[in-house]
Structure 1
Amino acid sequence: MNLTRHLRQTLTVARRDFVATVFTPTFLIFLFAPLIMASFGAIGGLGAATMADRGGDSARIVIIADAGQAPAIAAADRQLRALFSPTDEDRPPRLRIDSPEADPARQARQLFESSTVDIDAVLYGSLEAPEILYGPRAKRTAEYLEQLAELTLRAQRIGSADPLSAATKTPVERQQTSIAGQSQVAFLSVLALFFVTLMLSGQAVGTMAEERSNKVIEVLAAAVPLESVFLGKLIGMFGVALLFLAFWGTLLANLTAFIPPDFERALSDVGPAVGFPAFPLLFMVYFALAYMLLGAVFLSIGAQASTQRELQMMSLPITIVQMAMFGLAAAGAAAPDSVVATIAEVFPFSSPFAMIGRAANSPELWRHWLAIAWQLLWVTLCVSIGARWFRRGVLKSGPGRRRKRRRRESAVDISVS
């Protein structure tokens, strides 16, 4: 009977927190927060790409050669440049061919002083023994000019710039994901789990500090056992997190129908090692475990802060610790069989992030059963310790004796709206 009453009180507090969070206009802003952040990121990336393109358009590589060699050099440049995609970072700048002056060496050095164009590298002298000058971070461009001189010289020796062979190219689709594709999924899954966990569980700190400042927590503590308040808040905020994931999961699942076929084929070798539907199920399990771990800690810490200033002072160490956990898990995902990966998988607060990376890198499932049992143990410990710490923080918010007396006198069930 006592357990039933505590469970009912816990669910009542959970319903109160869930309704108070979801049925507000600000929840829509929170729900679309990833879209807002992605929009700002896209705008910043577009600006950076525009500046990079503008800088790339002003860059040139120069070959100082006679007019009779210019056609052969231009033909060789077209052949070599075809190996680079338009978005390749190693793609060399556009080629310019200048006629030699009396002192080609002095001419080449003066080109770097131009105020109208950025010169990355200059080649002068004979093609048999060319001299190449290059600026900072242009070593690869200098190597391109070296190969360009070699290809031009070979074409001149054989008397034609036409290719000597014609290959038949046949695309092959992989039947399983590649190691590189699994590594990409590992990093992205660790990043996604870290992002949603930190963003959703971090609400508990602000909610707790707000209710302490307006004395709502004292009303709850006087009517409901503090353990029920703690668990109810944790469950209520977890319900908000599930609603958030369900919304974005449904949205992304429907958007996959609009993926172009070429893009879909390009992603054919990218996927988790454990396959589907095991991977999304493991993601949800590890999200729940990570949320309960962090939510219990955040809720306990939030109960210790009585002012917004104290909350802000606590937020920085929390963020630093979480970034450290993300870095540890990401390093483990990059090297699945390393000591770092083992440490990340064993340490309780980085274990959920590291294990979702393991699911992307390795098809073994027995590790996940052990990890889930290990994390459930730590969830139990964190919730138990967090509830006691929560009680200590809440009882400091006002006269403890009067609150204890009111709680002892409240022996009937209540409904908190």
Structure 2
Amino acid sequence: MNPADAGRLPLWRAAFVVARRDFTAILFSRAFIFFLLGPLFPVVVIALAGGVGAQVQSEAPVADIGIAMEGEQVDAMIAARNELANQLGGGVPPMVEIARLQPGEAYDARAVLENAEGSLAAVVTGTMEAPQLTATEGRVQRWSGIVGMIAGNAAEPGARSYPPVSTMTVVTSGASEISGRIKTAQGGQVLLFLLIMLLASMVLSNLVEEKGNKIIEVLAAAIPMDAVFVGKLFAMLAITVVGIAVWGSTGAAILYAGGVSLSDYANPGVGWPMFFALFAIYFGMGYLLLGSIFLAVGSLASTVREVQTLSMPATMFQIIVFFLASLSVTDRGGWIEYTAMAFPLSSPFAMVSRAAIEETLWPHLLALAWQAMWVAIFVRAGSSMFRRRVMKSGPQGAGKARPVAKLLAGMFRNSSAPTA
């Protein structure tokens, strides 16, 4: 053992002592009340995210109308649709062949639509003279006239009268499910971003305050500086968990009182219980990644003004990273999605959206292992910078602080013992 470290607490025990000290000091302070009020003021970030959200919705998969008719009527309906789209431009949904029926063959459009996946939003059956549209209530109202025009032109090109369209409604469809999951993915990303950005910056003010009153130097005399870094980081994570628990329970109570439940929203790909679990884990990963950066940045500053100056580039870069992850929602399987999943700071956001849309779980295991590796790298690099910048550590500087090490180590040992 290094003689210089004699009398010091082990790294993880010392980190626990620092974490417990910071946690209790913040939790029982008046400032914590204002911290809990923080989510009332993220209007600017929501406005910024709205632009990306609009683009995501505009690039979301287009809803298709499936055609299930006899023989050549399928080709005639698709050709009439394409001709109408050329004349009217946008607003005419695509039509795709899903079945060519034999004369007299029955087709259960309701069952097909309710069990469909992907972009299938409606099914047209019957004949060109008597078409039937099966879709959700909203799409039935929006598309009945278009289907009648297509059927009339398919039966008689240039027709001025169109056959009546009978309708059948279903509760949901593959396209409705995808649209709902995309909204869940967007909401999850925005919430994750707001929580991480709002909460990770807490470590900056806490560090600057303790640098100003020399508490950091006192702590460093008794325990390793790496333990101070890790302890502060995980103390802030614990505080955020308390805050999220308060916000989450309050929000759930308000929604429940208003008659809103999770059944009113599209079920995420992995299901609500697993989605909440993955959201919590990805929040922890994202917080530790950004928190370690902010804590290292804080070690470079000695005043609040310097903190604001130094943290601004990191904050703006994280906003750009968030927008990259938001664009990955519409690029499933593309290079944007894979880039967002691979880049450490955007990976939690990209994987939250994937949990909302996709059903497979094994990519999350790989992503969590990848993120955990980067958390370890960021914490190690951040603690190294923290140690060098806060204490300007070296043999000479360390030796000056050594006389009080044994006394402070004893104090921390006593504080770590359970109280009656």
- TM-score bin (small chain): 0.5 to 0.7
> Where does residue 360 of structure 1 map in the other structure?
356
Other-structure match for 1:172? 170
Mapped to 2, the partners of 1:21 and 1:5 lie a distance apart of 24
Q: Give the residue type in structure 1 aligned to 2:296.
A: S
Question: For 2:272, what is the secondary structure of its paired residue?
Answer: coil
Could you tell me how far 1:301 is from its partner in structure 2? 1.2
Displacement of 1:400 in angstroms is: 2.5
Residues in 2 aligned to 1:247 and 1:361: alpha-carbon distance in whole angstroms: 28
How far 1:343 moved relative to its partner? 0.2
The amino acid across from 1:30 in the alignment is: F
2:337 aligned to 335, 341, 360, which one? 341
Change (3 A) 1:40 1:344: closer
The amino acid across from 2:34 in the alignment is: I
* Worse overlay, 353-362 or 396-405: 396-405
CA contact (8 A) 1:336 1:361 kept: no
Give me the whole-angstrom Cα distance separating, in 1, the residues matched to 2:358 and 2:403.
Answer: 55
Residue 27 (str. 1) matches residue 32 (str. 2): yes
Contact 1:289 1:375 in 2 (8 A): yes
Which ranges in structure 1 are unaligned for 5 or more consecutive residues?
43-163
Alignment partners' CA distance in 2, 1:4 and 1:208: 21
Shift in Å, 1:283: 0.2
Tell me the residue number matched to 1:46.
Answer: none
The superposition leaves residues 353-403 of structure 1 with CA deviations (integer Å, 9 ceiling, x where unpaired) of: 111011112111110000000001111111111111110111139983454
Please give the root-mean-square deviation of Cα atoms over the aligned residues, in Å.
3.4
- Equivalent of residue 281 in structure 2, options 268, 282, 285: 285
Structure 2 counterpart SS, 1:348: coil
- Equivalent residues of 2:23, 2:236 under 8 A apart: yes
Distance 1:407 1:290, change over 3 A: farther
1:60 aligned residue: none
1:128-157 superposed Cα distances (whole Å, 9 cap, x missing partner): xxxxxxxxxxxxxxxxxxxxxxxxxxxxxx
1:217 aligns with 2:241: no
Q: CA deviation at 1:406?
A: 4.0
TM-score, normalised to structure 1, is 0.64
The 1:308/1:397 distance shift into structure 2, 3 A limit, reads: farther
Deviation at 1:289, TM superposition (A): 0.7
Letter in 1 for 2:171: E
Distance 1:36 1:321 in 2: 21
- Distance between the aligned counterparts of 2:226 and 2:407, measured in 1? 15
TM-score scaled by length of structure 2: 0.63
* Partner Cα separation in structure 1 for residue 262 and residue 220 of structure 2: 54
Alpha carbons of structure 1 residues 382 and 40: separation in structure 2 relative to 1, 3 Å? closer
Amino acid aligned to 1:241: T
Query: Is 1:381 matched up with 2:377?
Result: yes
Deviations 1:95-114 (A, max 9, x none): xxxxxxxxxxxxxxxxxxxx
Pairing 1:199–2:189 present:
no
Which one-letter code corresponds to 2:378 in the other structure? Answer: C
Query: What's the CA shift for 1:404?
Result: 4.7
- The structure with the largest alpha-carbon Rg is 1
Structure 2, gaps ≥5 residues long: 2-6, 48-161
How many positions carry a matched residue from both structures? 296
Q: How does 1:285-364 map onto structure 2 within 5 Å? A: 285-364=281-360
Q: Report what 1:182 is aligned to.
A: 181
1:405 aligned onto 2:402: yes
Does the 8 A contact of 1:221 with 1:407 survive in 2?
A: no
